[in-house]
Structure 1
């Protein structure tokens, strides 16, 4: 591993923080672009990006969305269009400034939905899609899990957990998750309509015990896309497979990408 490199990505709305990991001997295969979850950041991927780079032999790039981690603050309230907006507004800047003419989209949780939107929008430039614990619609299990989490974060000191990664943006980060998903306007959100536009190979990973979404989501992704697709359901696994069961995740992604440019 040649080490991690940090990047500042300029966008019309503000600066994004990104980090890339490049394994020794990496060729010209498409890099992997990681999309984090609703409370996530580059740092919260922990050692997974480096392990993924080593397992696949590819450059891996993670970034903090606007308002998260070390990216600039976001003063706006998110709307139900924020998932699609990420693919349309920020991924083009990332791809251009990091020299990614082609890439693999890999997203966790809501980042999985963003990865789907990105694969649909970028066509042949997205050579493969990996979703992990992705939601495809606002399922009751998802909303109940968010309500439980919101109550937990209301307890004294709990917001400090987010502040470690998001600083003074922590309260906005929490509201961007809970208030957006639990709003009446979000009830009809889904990515079902965009799935047929995804034509690249797809791997949909999901923990069977995921507290934020049932296995209906990876099955809908695999059934809805136009390209070849497979699902990986992990028994005894919750919402964060790359942390709870990293080896099966790394092995499955490496197998998928072995046949992809």
Structure 2
């Protein structure tokens, strides 16, 4: 007999933090109970809306509340006050997440991030070890790799096409140029060349699942291997590029759900 899919309640709000308000959306299944919620960190061009159907499906399949938010400057959050500093990945964990979690009434949680959001999830797990119960990275980068930089250079050229750029405007409005530059110019800057997650990874104490597409155009399998080394498991997703939650949503949700059921 097929298990009925639980009803998932959806809500959203703006949460004030230092520097502006963050747009936050919740998906809470009726079966959530006291399980630690899953906090989603979006990628460099991402937003809550660009997760599409993934959060609702993840909530239904895992029986956990799922929370996603737009970082300052992205999606429906307030504008970012300036340029991203080279340490922006770690800064998100140290300056934004403690306030955001407290204002959402979240104690223990699961950190789950896509691409650079995966790096932010790692930094958050390292910064809040007593509260982070598990860490999931999806197509995350752990260091600056030539493949990553070349992929960004190609994307930067592609976004010169007005039709391509219009896709960003759809989700980020008049801040689309800031969003694009925040990604390309941060990663391509010489000041970012030595960035890595190594220091944060050394502090991880929770179970780790590193998911990565075997056709990811922004990073080789060296990234999930470094993230999970001595800490957890790598799962390579076959015939998958950089956006698994769009390319193989069911397989991704199954992998995360199976991992969390064992935590």
Q: How would you bin the TM-score normalised by the shorter chain?
A: over 0.9
Distance 1:79 1:143 in 2: 18
What is the aligned counterpart of 2:142 among 122, 125, 136?
Answer: 136
Partner in structure 2 of residue 183 of structure 1: 189
Correspondence for 2:81 among 75, 78, 84: 75
Task: Choose from 159, 162, 178 the match for 1:156.
Answer: 162
Per the TM alignment, residue 258 of structure 1 is displaced from its structure 2 partner at its CA by 1.1
What are the equivalent positions in structure 2 for 1:106-121 lying under 5 Å apart? 106-121=112-127
Determine helix, strand or coil for the equivalent of 1:3: strand
1:158 partner SS: helix
Which digits, 9 at most, give the CA deviation of each residue in 1:52-100, with x for residues without a partner?
0011000000000000000000131112100000001111122111111
Distance 2:202 2:258 in 1: 23
8 Å Cα contact 2:129/2:204 also seen in 1: yes
**Residue in 1 that maps onto 2:50:** 44
Aligned to 1:238: 241
User: Is the contact made by 1:9 and 1:93 (CA closer than 8 Å) also made in structure 2?
Assistant: no
CA distance, structure 2, for counterparts of residue 161 and residue 75 of structure 1: 23
State the 1:194 CA deviation: 1.4
What count of residue pairs does the alignment treat as equivalent?
Answer: 257
Contact kept? 2:112, 2:135, Cα under 8 Å? yes
Q: Which moved more, 1:18-27 or 1:62-71?
A: 18-27
How big is each residue's C-alpha offset from its partner over 1:187-238, in whole Å with a ceiling of 9 and x where there is no partner?
Answer: 011011210211101000000000000000000011154xxx0010011100
Alignment of 1:216-231 (within 5 A): 216-223=222-229, 225=231, 229-231=232-234
Q: Which residue matches 1:13?
A: 19
- TM-score, length of structure 2 as denominator length: 0.96
Quote the Cα distance in structure 1 between the aligned partners of 2:99 and 2:75.
Answer: 18
The equivalent of 2:3 in structure 1 is none
* Segments of 4+ moved more than 6 angstroms: none
- Alignment partner of 1:254 out of 245, 252, 257: 257
CA separation in 1, counterparts of 2:40 and 2:134? 12
Q: How far off is 1:172 after superposition? A: 0.2
Aligned mates of 1:85, 1:124 — CA distance in 2:
19
State the secondary structure of the residue aligned to 2:202: helix
Question: What is the Cα deviation at residue 124 of structure 1?
Answer: 2.1
Is this contact kept in 2: 1:10–1:93, CA < 8 A? no
The aligned residue for residue 65 of structure 1 is 71
Q: Provide structure 2 residue ranges, at least 5 long, that are not aligned to the other structure.
A: 1-6
Change (3 A) 1:83 1:224: farther
The TM-score with structure 1 as length reference comes to 0.96
Tell me if 1:145 matches 2:148: no
